[in-house]
Amino acid sequence: MSEINVQLKGGQSAQVAAGATVAEALKAVDRDAAKQALAAKVNGREVDLTFPLVGAASNGQTVEVEPVLPGTLDGLDVIRHSTAHLLAAAVLDLFPGTKLGVGPALLDDPRYGFFYDMIAPRQLTDEDLPVIEKRMRELAKRNLAYRREEITKEEALRIFGDREEPLKCELIADKGGAEVSVYYIDGSPFLDFCLGPHVPNTNRLKAFKLLSLSGAYWMGDSERPQMQRIYGTAFATQEELDAWVKQREEAERRDHRRLGRELDLFSIQDAYGAGLVLWHPKGAVVRKAMEDYLYEELSRRGYAFVYTPHIAKRELWQVSGHEQNYGDSMFSPMKLEETEFRIKPMNCPFHIGIYRSQQRSYRDLPQRYAEMGSVYRAELSGTLHGLLRVRGFTVDDAHLFCTPEQVRKEIADCFDFVVEVLKTFGFEKVRFELSVKGNDTSKQWLGAEEGWALAESALAEALDARGVPYERIEGEAAFYGPKIDLKIEDAIGRLWQLGTVQWDFNLPERFELEYTGEDNRPHRPVMVHRALFGSIERFFGVLIEQYAGAFPMWLAPVQVAVLPITDRVNDYAEGVARELREAGLRVEVNSRGDKIGAKIRAAQLQKIPFMLICGDREMEEGKVAVRERSRGDIGAMPLAEFRETALRLVRTRALSNTET
Ligand SMILES: [Zn+2]
Ligand SMILES: [Zn+2]
């Protein structure tokens, strides 16, 4: 066999010499792709560009080749993986005797692109990172080759043993077959046990950055050697890296935990328990405004409000199936006299109790019960994160009990409702995910297969009827039925999971819910669970980040700061504040002895939408000098004029203070 047939995936074919590499084969079928390729796939398997085709061409069959290009996820994987090796090469060069652990690429972690765990002869510090990064650049510029060798396991163990790399020897002994592949970066001290593929040369790595240093244990085991982990990231182009760095700074600037502290919105204190939120007065104002708005919308849409307790008898959670299917997420039972109780992880069974407190007729349906219902979940401490993942939270919950004929319209109405509500908070992009049981057998699902199929098709129909695009996700349904999850994109393009709309045919069955139909016979209602914000705590956290703490007027904890320039106008300033408060605005007066500049700075740091500066002249003319937090001074005006503008911004729930 002197020639091999190759075909570009979905493209041209050609013949190449039997000794050709995949790089040469790519060149024969697509010159441009060959130039850009970082690695390649041969018959679907990822390989280096230096891979010899001869091994893949059995029985004269055509070999399928496909370039791995920058700008694809596979390409990014190769870049980040290769950069992790470049990092190790630089560290070995600077700190001979360093023992290498593992260094994978990270594709799903928004914070990092790769890391390498290692034990250097001395403890590395943050000051070492720029030095290491500089050495990486030097090695990259020298255009060194990544060279693969395939050797026997014994040979590999001997080589790494000679290099005094005990961790690598352990990996090879554990994971290596009879033959193992090792990679050199020629011209550097680097050698690693790795499957590849990598970029062909170090100068293909042009956009990388080291980020931070942390501790790590070998194999994640605290009994094993303590190592140091260097985090970094890499992209195909400098533009992408720059954009990522900017996005990361922006995310840090918006971090709700820091802003929550600086703006005195909430705290989570160890003395009270991890994941349990204390809402401070200013945070509580925002929450109240959010809830008031929601109550207004709920009333308009025919919901009834209910209140229910935080605990219930243990048997209730057994009837509902929560104990059997959701028990791991519930706090343990507690006992009083002879009765056991459990704290609620969901509100559903309580609303069911209200429904079945009397005989229902088809004329009474739908029944729509809404509650800001506080629930508690036994989340593990490692998973908790600020307001985004907590142990106690309040769901803007509602349950709709309807006839099978009504349910599609009710669900469709929920979509309209959520889209409108989220738009009010400035989220224009809402995404829907249809989470179904699928073929996932790793979880427990309640009820018969037909019920699941019917519910899934009904949810899909409701989505289709509203013309909203959605993604179907298997295995993510609630244990009692399929659901639609809502995701929003925030001001800097991040996705957040919020509420859900769920179809439930199981709980009505388990609680034997009924209504009397037109035929005078008993029928089973369908139950819809829905939440728009999902968790109010979580949504509040998202809002803090969305607005970077600068809440729009209708949500701002303090809407107006009145700042007297001298003590002479303190009474006038108090009068201004009184008049605005009487009109319903949230106002603070700063009559401390500070200079006006300091007062403005303080109000600005609190991100108060408007500052009203009062001096002798304003007092004489009955005016206020208005300063807006992002535009600065906008001139003096009569107090009544400012009051009307401010009230209009609140009433219309304007997102920006220029929308008057
Ligand atoms: Zn590798
Ligand atoms: Zn529910």
DSSP of 1-65, one letter per residue? --EEEEEETTS-EEEEETT-BHHHHHHHH-HHHHHH-SEEEETTEEE-TT-BGGGG-GGGPPEEE
Distance 328 CA to ligand 2 centre (A): 18
- Choose the weakest-confidence range: 382-386, 557-561, 587-591, 601-605: 382-386
State how far the Cα of 239 lies from the Cα of 223, in Å rounded to an integer: 42
CA–CA gap between residue 533 and residue 396 (Å, rounded): 6
| Nearest ligand to the CA atom of 320 | 2
Q: Ligand 2 centre from 340 Cα, in Å?
A: 22
Report pLDDT digits (tens) over 212-236: 999 888 888 888 888 999 999 999 9
Residue 523 pLDDT level (bands cut at 50, 70, 90): very high
* Those residues with Cβ within 8 angstroms of residue 454's Cβ, 6 or more apart along the chain or in another chain: 505
Going from the Cα of 470 to the center of ligand 2, the distance in angstroms, rounded, reads 22
DSSP 389: B
pTM of the predicted model, to two decimals? 0.79
Distances (CA, A) of 622 to 8, 326, 488, 595, 618: 79, 63, 45, 22, 6
**d(C-alpha 61, C-alpha 474), whole Å:** 37
Strands 526-535 and 610-614, by their bridges, are unpaired
Cα(202) to centroid(ligand 1), Å: 13
Residues 416-437, mean pLDDT to the nearest whole number:
90
Rounded Cα gap, residues 585 and 658, in angstroms:
18
Per-position b or e across 326-336, b if 16+ CB within 10 A of its CB: beeebeeeeee
Q: Which residue has the tokens 């508690």?
A: 376
CA of 183 to the centre of ligand 1 (A): 7
User: Of the bound ligands, which one is closest to the alpha carbon of residue 77?
Assistant: 1
**179 CB burial (10 A radius; 0-12, 13-18, 19+):** exposed
Nearest to 65 by CA among 46, 93, 92: 46
Q: Provide the pLDDT for residue 403.
A: 94
Give the distance (Å) from ligand 2 centre to CA of residue 50: 57
Ligand nearest to C-alpha 401: 2
Q: Closest by alpha carbon to 100, among 119, 84, 85?
A: 119
pLDDT digits (tens, 9 = 90+) for 41-80: 999 999 999 999 877 766 678 899 999 999 999 999 999 9
**Residue 450: band (very low, low, confident or very high) from pLDDT cuts 50, 70, 90:** confident
DSSP one-letter string for 186-200: TTSS-EEE------S
Position 416 scores a pLDDT of 87
- Evaluate whether 483 touches 503 at the Cβ level (below 8 Å): yes
pLDDT at 219: 84
Please tell me the least confidently modeled range out of 10-19, 206-215, 646-655. 10-19
Q: How far apart are CA 327 and CA 439, in angstroms?
A: 23
336 — phi, psi (to 5°)?
-135, 125
Calpha distance 271→288 (Å, rounded): 26
Name the closest ligand to CA 88: 1
Mean pLDDT of 589-597: 94
